[in-house]
Amino acid sequence: MRLLSDMFMTFFKIGAFTIGGGYAMLPLIQREVVHIRKWISEEEFLDMVAIAQSAPGPLAVNISVFVGYKVKGALGIIASVLGSTLPSFGIIILVASVFLGIEKHPAVEQVFSGIRPAVVALIAAPVITMARTAKMNRTNFYIPLSAVILVGFLGVTPIYLIIGFILLGIVKTRLEGRKG
């Protein structure tokens, strides 16, 4: 029972004090579940992030499902998902009830413009960490770089990009198989 309450409180804390969504939560989740609590390994976390990105639904909730299941099965899923979603639910209800009349106020707009750079940094941090863990090098760096260019600057739909990279991976694997 202690482990379940620890899981709930860990994800509750992350959900309550992170601004910016799932990607901003990644470094906090990683620190808590890999480095501090040691519930999963660095490699397992990287795999969970990859799967969570592919699965439908919010990234942080998907990761909490995977961590919860790995650590404590179905009860772990319930504890971690409730922990990660209850803060957001409560905050959304509170903000919506207050925000409806003041969203165009200059002070509110200034607060959100001040938060944006911090959110970008919170998203960049796990990307760098995951690149190191995934053994990113000069040879395979072209994949994320081309993805950024195609999606960010040329407006290509990510679905087409994913399908294209899957096909490239299949072709590359078959060509390497013929050489070996």
The lowest-confidence range among 19-23, 64-68, 145-149, 172-176 is 19-23
Q: What does the pLDDT read at residue 23?
A: 81
Q: What does the pLDDT read at residue 3?
A: 94
**Where is 60: in which H helix or E strand?**
helix 59-99
Cβ atoms of residues 74 and 82 within 8 Å: no
Backbone dihedral region of 5: left (phi > 0), alpha (psi from -120 to 50 degrees) or beta? Answer: alpha
DSSP state of 97: H
- Mind listing the pLDDT tens digit for each residue in 111-135? 888 888 888 787 777 777 777 777 7
The lowest-confidence range among 30-44, 78-92, 115-129, 147-161 is 115-129
Cβ atoms of residues 80 and 7 within 8 Å: yes
The chain-wide mean pLDDT, for the chain, equals 87
Question: If you average pLDDT over residues 36-43, what whole number do you get?
Answer: 94
Whether pLDDT at 179 is above 80: no
Q: What does the pLDDT read at residue 83?
A: 95
Q: What does the pLDDT read at residue 81?
A: 95
- Secondary-structure percent of the chain, ordered helix, strand, coil, rounded to 5: 80, 0, 20
Whether pLDDT at 180 is above 70: no
- Is the model's pTM score more than 0.85? no
Cα 41 to Cα 126: distance, rounded to the nearest angstrom: 15
Q: What does the pLDDT read at residue 135?
A: 74
Question: If you average pLDDT over residues 65-83, what whole number do you get?
Answer: 96
